[in-house]
Amino acid sequence: MSEVVEKEIRPENVRVIRLGHGANCSSIGSVVDTLFVSAVVGGAVIAAVLAALKKEAIAAEAPKPPDPTEEGTKLRD
Amino acid sequence: MTIVLLALAALSLITGIARAQAPPPSFFAGRSNGELRDLASDRHNDVLLRRSAATRLVMGLADAGDFEAAEAAAREFAHNIDPQAIKHVRAVRRRGHVHVAAVGALGVALGFLVTSLVARRRSIMGALPTVRRIAPIVVFFFGYAGAVGGYLATTYENGSANPFLLFAAAMIPFAMILRVWSAVGSPHLAARAFRGVAAVAATLAVGFLVVEQVNPRFLEGFGL
């Protein structure tokens, strides 16, 4: 039967205690909610840009006028 | 020293602390609020049993939306209740306010959007090539956010990819419709600014409503 050695955690064993959201946890689970908020904020920026865009200019090509030099050449022929 | 220890032991037996043991969650399953109140009030019960019952009663009332009763119960059992229960009541109340604001913002934005599209319905077909041009960017951005975020969420204990995937699924068509709106809508600066604000409000509302329905634990870190 294995013995479980319990070590007491004393103040000198603690290097740093972080405060705030997801503090003292290096797991991805502690920042997944922040990640989701980042995705939503990024989506909001994209949505704002798309909604605020102007109409696109219609780029229709006008028919080319007949080239007078070509006409002249044809007439000469 | 021995006398002090004996006195403490006697005090523990008299107050019931020595016999106290937190009951398993299954003990409370299916119990009505009246039963929980009786368990929390009965002085013959263990101190931890009373504490757990009071905590569950207060949290249950808050989850059911009865905030007045939850706060009254929290005051009634204030001497023996988990402080997290009181925080939970405040958070759920705040979440309710944000829910109403989100539904309202989404409703107003969609109302203006639909009204504008109906008024200029003849121009909608002409806007489709514009939508086709931005479609790859929109699909890439929301697809990337949904897939990568969803994958990361599944890599820890009870994580779920659903909030990311549902948000992406809702936003891809919504973003396309927003581009149609901007293509057929007024080009004036004020109109464009209003559309931008409406789009931001609607997107934040969609994000909140998705996560509220799928996994409200995401909101706990933000006091909701």
In chain B, the residue whose alpha carbon lies closest to the alpha carbon of A44 is B200
Of B159, B182, B193, the CB nearest to A32: B159
CA torsion B37→B43→B47→B48, rounded to 10°? -30
Count of CB pairs separated by less than 8 Å, A with B: 116
Contact B171 A34 (CB under 8 A): no
Cβ neighbors of B12 (< 8 A, separation 6 or more) are: B18
Cα gap B40→B55, rounded to integer Å? 9
pLDDT on residue A1? 46
Mean pLDDT is lowest, of A48-52, A73-77, B162-166, for A73-77
Contact B138 A50 (CB under 8 A): yes
Phi-psi region of B43 (alpha: psi -120 to 50; beta: other; left: phi over 0): alpha
For residue B201 the two structure tokens come to: 């409000």
- A23 near B CB under 8 A: no
Residue B161 identity: A
Residue B64 identity: A
Q: Could you say which DSSP state residue A17 is in?
A: -
For residue A57 the two structure tokens come to: 């200019």
Q: Which residues of A touch B192 (CB under 8 A)?
A: 51-54
Count other C-beta atoms under 10 Å from residue B104's C-beta.
12
- A11-36: pLDDT as tens digits: 888 877 777 666 666 666 667 888 88
- ipTM attached to this prediction: 0.75
A24-to-A20, A35, B4, B157 alpha-carbon distances in Å: 9, 18, 39, 17
pLDDT tens string, chain B, 224 residues long: the values are: 677 777 777 766 666 555 556 677 778 877 888 888 888 888 888 888 888 889 989 988 888 888 888 888 888 888 888 888 888 888 888 998 999 999 999 999 999 999 999 998 888 888 888 889 999 999 999 999 999 988 888 887 667 888 999 999 999 999 999 999 999 888 899 999 999 999 999 999 999 999 888 877 778 777 77
Contact B193 A52 (CB under 8 A): yes
